[in-house]
């Protein structure tokens, strides 16, 4: 395998590999870039350009403008996002959920949140259903810990709640041919039937608000861009079923601590899990991949590279709200005025402060989990 092959970009809902070229994804998926103008439009409702918009974590969309036009005419929208419970939640997962909460507060909307224990079971040969289901409830604690309120937050657990979803899933499934599904998702002869049906289930929360309330409004989906194929097929059939097309706002993948910003539950040392102890957090951050040089002398002379540094990315997307301070950190890094150890220490402190609070709230969430269940 050549280096180029190793770096080849693959982005599907089930696999992200290589160096991700986001401009290319916008072109190939046919989404729209999130323009300055749209950012400003959101800012009007969100009390300023929120950190994850300003730093362009969210960078692409479909029909966000349409949804805002409708909102301004008095037609509200609902939010929909979700999580495939394949392991414990790490900090990278929380970032788009935090943004979703800001959207929810700004627009005073419902959130439907789907836990896809079915999906994670069918797509992984090794997965055990009772385990993905168990993880769905564990993962829900992290969502609740972020401060969502049960009055407008509805968690769907696919396996437990399939009776609520099944009629809409059938209506969706009947309108999508195998040929469309195969070309959208790359299904093979060896793909199992559960996997092939699953996209119909992920489409359901786009439409479920009408079944529950009688109100027909569009859904806006904050999601990582790898989920786009699901919404492409859903958008194609929405009008035929009498619904609005679901709109989306897409985020980049939040980098992990490994080389190339990898964070993966299957490589636990590259991800900070929400239940990690403060000692473990320090250790993981200490080993994080940075843009530093081999020796201190060299780094003082030549400076380091914040653009490839995973530690810097955490300040960028979550832990340094102040633009001037971020800019200063960037400058000092490039000038060789700050060493990687200094940044790591500061980040570990910030992460541990955040996680200390999060872990307390996560414990409390155990008593409240039923209040958030869509079937309550
Ligand atoms: N398929 C997603 C995953 O594996 C889970 C999911 C379901 C989702 N519905 C969603 C993610 C809506 C974002 C938005 O993580």
| Ligand 1 centroid distance, CA of 233 (Å) | 15
Mean pLDDT of 146-155: 98
| Ligand 1 centroid distance, CA of 308 (Å) | 27
pLDDT attached to residue 99: 96
Where residue 263 falls among pLDDT bands split at 50, 70, 90?
A: low
Mean pLDDT of 139-147: 98
| Ligand 1 centroid distance, CA of 85 (Å) | 9
Identify the residue whose C-alpha is closest to ligand 1 atom 9. 82
Where residue 256 falls among pLDDT bands split at 50, 70, 90?
A: confident
| Ligand 1 centroid distance, CA of 135 (Å) | 14
Where residue 8 falls among pLDDT bands split at 50, 70, 90?
A: confident
pLDDT attached to residue 1: 43
Determine whether the shortest distance from the Cβ of 116 to ligand 1 is under 6 A. yes
| Ligand 1 centroid distance, CA of 250 (Å) | 12
Mean pLDDT of 166-187: 97
- pLDDT for residue 267 is more than 80: no
Identify the residue whose C-alpha is closest to ligand 1 atom 1. 84
CB 79 within 8 A of CB 223: no
pLDDT attached to residue 2: 47
Identify the residue whose C-alpha is closest to ligand 1 atom 8. 82
Buried b or exposed e, range 145-157, using 16+ CB within 10 angstroms? bbebeeeebbbbb
Determine whether the shortest distance from the Cβ of 82 to ligand 1 is under 6 A. yes
Where residue 262 falls among pLDDT bands split at 50, 70, 90?
A: low
- pLDDT for residue 254 is more than 90: no
- pLDDT for residue 240 is more than 80: yes
| Ligand 1 centroid distance, CA of 347 (Å) | 29
pLDDT digits (tens, 9 = 90+) for 276-311: 999 999 999 999 999 999 999 999 999 999 999 999
Determine whether the shortest distance from the Cβ of 83 to ligand 1 is under 6 A. yes
Determine whether the shortest distance from the Cβ of 234 to ligand 1 is under 6 A. no
| Ligand 1 centroid distance, CA of 261 (Å) | 21
- Bridge partners, 113 (sequence order): 81, 155
pLDDT digits (tens, 9 = 90+) for 93-120: 999 999 999 999 999 999 999 999 999 9
Q: Is the dihedral of CA 365, 371, 374, 376 positive or negative?
A: positive
Q: Which residue has the higher pLDDT, 268 or 72?
A: 72
Tokens standing for residue 192: 């199992």
Q: Which residue has the higher pLDDT, 26 or 3?
A: 26
- pLDDT for residue 72 is more than 80: yes
Determine whether the shortest distance from the Cβ of 227 to ligand 1 is under 6 A. yes
| Ligand 1 centroid distance, CA of 116 (Å) | 7
Determine whether the shortest distance from the Cβ of 344 to ligand 1 is under 6 A. no
Determine whether the shortest distance from the Cβ of 96 to ligand 1 is under 6 A. no
- pLDDT for residue 21 is more than 50: yes
pLDDT attached to residue 264: 57
The per-residue pLDDT of the chain, averaged, comes to 95
Share of the chain above pLDDT 90, in %: 91
Integer Cα distance of 348 and 286 in angstroms? 8
pLDDT digits (tens, 9 = 90+) for 341-365: 999 999 999 999 999 999 999 999 9
Integer Cα distance of 198 and 195 in angstroms? 5
Identify the residue whose C-alpha is closest to ligand 1 atom 6. 82
Mean pLDDT of 240-269: 84
| Ligand 1 centroid distance, CA of 202 (Å) | 7
Choosing from 227, 263, 266 the residue with most ligand 1 atoms within 8 A of its CB, the one to mutate for a pocket test is 227
């Amino acid at each position: 395998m050549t280096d180029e092959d190793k770096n080849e970009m693959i982005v599907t809902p089930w696999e992200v590999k290589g160096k991700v070229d986001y401009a290319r994804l916008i072109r190939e998926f046919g989404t729209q870039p999130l323009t300055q103008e749209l950012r400003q439009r959101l800012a009007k409702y969100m009390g300023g350009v929120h950190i994850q918009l300003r730093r362009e974590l969210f960078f692409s969309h479909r029909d966000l403008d349409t949804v805002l036009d409708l909102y301004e005419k008095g037609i509200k929208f609902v939010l929909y996002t979700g999580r495939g419970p394949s392991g414990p939640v790490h900090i990278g997962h929380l970032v788009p959920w935090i943004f979703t909460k800001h959207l929810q507060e700004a627009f005073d909307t419902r959130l439907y949140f789907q836990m896809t224990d079915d999906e994670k079971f069918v797509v992984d040969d090794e997965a055990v259903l009772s385990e993905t289901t168990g993880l769905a409830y564990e993962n829900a604690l992290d969502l609740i810990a972020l401060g969502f309120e049960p009055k407008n937050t509805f968690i769907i657990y696919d396996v437990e709640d399939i009776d609520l979803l099944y009629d809409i899933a059938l209506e969706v499934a009947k309108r999508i041919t195998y040929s469309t599904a195969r070309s959208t998702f790359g299904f093979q002869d060896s793909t199992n039937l559960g996997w092939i049906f699953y996209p119909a289930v992920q489409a359901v929360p786009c439409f479920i608000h009408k079944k529950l309330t009688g109100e027909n409004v569009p859904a806006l989906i904050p999601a990582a861009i790898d989920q786009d194929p699901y919404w492409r097929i859903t958008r194609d059939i929405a009008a035929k079923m009498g619904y609005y097309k679901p709109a989306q706002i897409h985020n980049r993948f939040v980098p992990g601590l490994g080389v190339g910003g990898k964070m993966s539950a299957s490589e636990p040392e590259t991800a900070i899990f929400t239940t990690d102890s403060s000692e473990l957090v320090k250790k993981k951050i200490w080993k994080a991949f940075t843009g530093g040089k081999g020796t201190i002398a060299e780094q003082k002379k030549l400076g380091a590279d914040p653009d490839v540094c995973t530690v810097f990315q955490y300040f960028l997307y979550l832990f340094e709200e102040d633009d001037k301070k971020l800019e200063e950190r960037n400058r000092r890094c490039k000038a060789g005025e700050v060493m990687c150890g200094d940044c790591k220490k500061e980040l570990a402190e910030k992460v541990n402060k955040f996680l200390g609070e999060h872990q307390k709230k996560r414990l409390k969430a155990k008593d409240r989990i039923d209040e958030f269940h869509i079937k309550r």
